Amino acid sequence: METLKKIVTNQYFPAGAVLTAVLLFWVVGMLGGLSLLNNNQPPLTTLTWMLFVYAAAVLTPLAGLLAAVDLVRRWRRNRAAASAATAGPAVASAAAGGSPHPAQPQDSHAAPGKPQRPGRQEAA
């Protein structure tokens, strides 16, 4: 039970589950998942099935692509964090946006009574 709980709470689980469902859908489709159309079914049942398959055929590649991109993004982020942690604290603070140098004074050329608006780097 602990193993199942660990798998479900893993950060890769949602995207992995979506990608698995998409692949399973397409494998079943390739192996004869449209056999419902061969049977003599009422027209409303056939129409409903065809609309479901059409929607799934349009949406599953998009969902699979988003899931794959999310998995790769999480993997790269975790790999970068692990390499930064092993490299040392100075490299980790520089990678996080910190600077090893003390803060520089602001621009002194501005008018004395005029408030300064932060630039692009200061606002971020």
Please write the tens of the pLDDT for every residue from 28-61.
Answer: 877 776 666 667 778 888 888 888 888 888 888 9
Q: How far does Cα 53 stand from its chain's mean position? A: 25
C-alpha span between 74 and 45 (Å, rounded)? 41
Give me the chain's average pLDDT, please: 75
Most confident of 70-79, 80-89, 109-118: 70-79
C-alpha span between 93 and 107 (Å, rounded)? 25
Q: What pLDDT does 120 receive?
A: 52
pLDDT exceeds 90 at position 73: yes
pTM listed for this prediction? 0.51
The domain locations on the chain are 44-79
Most confident of 26-30, 79-83, 107-111, 119-123: 79-83
- Of 8, 4, 19, residue with least CA distance to 72: 19
Angle between helices 43-87 and 13-30 (to 10 degrees): 140
C-alpha span between 99 and 105 (Å, rounded)? 14
CA distances from 59 to 17, 52, 95 (A): 15, 10, 37
